[in-house]
Amino acid sequence: MPVTAVVGAQWGDEGKGKIVDWLAEQADMVIRFQGGNNAGHTVVNDLGEFRLHIVPCGIFNPQTKCIIGTGTVVSPTVLLEELHELQDKGIDTKNLLLSARAHLLMPYHVLLDKLEEQARGNNSLGTTLRGIGPCYVDKVQRSGIQVGDLLDPDYFRQKVHRQVRDKNVLLQALYSYEALDADQIADEVLAMRDELLPHIKDVLPIIHRALAADQSIVLEGQLGALKDLDWGTY
């Protein structure tokens, strides 16, 4: 079971993308296992320069299966933007699989990230303002929306309504912000559903089969250990 993990030992920007791109040339599978689109891996090859924020670097090898794993938080907008850019340059993206258990990064996560940072003033954390932290908060609270919820549009809409109801209480009480429209948010995300559906899979059995077949797997880390909640700066 040859599994190689590429992780950053500092604060990110250690050159992980280049290493993963090199390893992916011989890999059967590349897995992004955590994080979101708050950092990018820059890859330069014969097709040009690419900065991938959520798509695994193995996407340039047509023989490599690329998985956006369960531990990630996924902005459907950013994901589709990256896929469209890759497709426009002739790169086949059919080998990209998206874990049904990954969490969806919603528009209100981005809004909350910005408002929270503004409220901190001089004590701001310096986040990328892309909603990663608020999305993980919902995941830990067991109130988040998973990618697999898109398989049932009615259920997805119900979950959006519950989330927006709670978020509106927070937005209005803490930030005097106008109420969000749950149906508008649900409609925006559901408009991307058809493009996302072919990629949404239960990825665990696929990974288990790859391990059983002794396939080469690369785990693509994001950011670095010194940004870890437990072992990095807090």
User: Which position among 21, 28, 41, 149 bears the catalytic label?
Assistant: 41
Cα dihedral angle (177, 183, 185, 190), rounded to 10 degrees? 180
Contact 10, 224 (CB under 8 A): yes
* Catalytic-residue membership of 13: yes
At position 105, the amino acid (one-letter code) is L
List, in sequence order, every residue forming a beta bridge with 96; answer none if it has no partner: 66
Helix axes 153-175, 107-120, angle to 10 degrees: 20
Alpha helices by DSSP H, the chain: 16-24, 76-88, 107-120, 132-140, 153-175, 182-190, 193-196, 203-212
* Catalytic-residue membership of 41: yes
Alpha helices by DSSP H, 64-131: 76-88, 107-120
User: Which position among 13, 161, 166, 228 bears the catalytic label?
Assistant: 13
Which helix (DSSP H) or strand (DSSP E) does residue 207 occupy?
A: helix 203-212
Q: Which residue bears the tokens 């803490």?
A: 174
Give which of 154, 41, 39, 163 is closest to 107, Cα–Cα. Answer: 163
Measure the CA–CA gap between 92 and 69, rounded to whole angstroms.
Answer: 19
**Residues labelled as active-site residues:** 13, 41
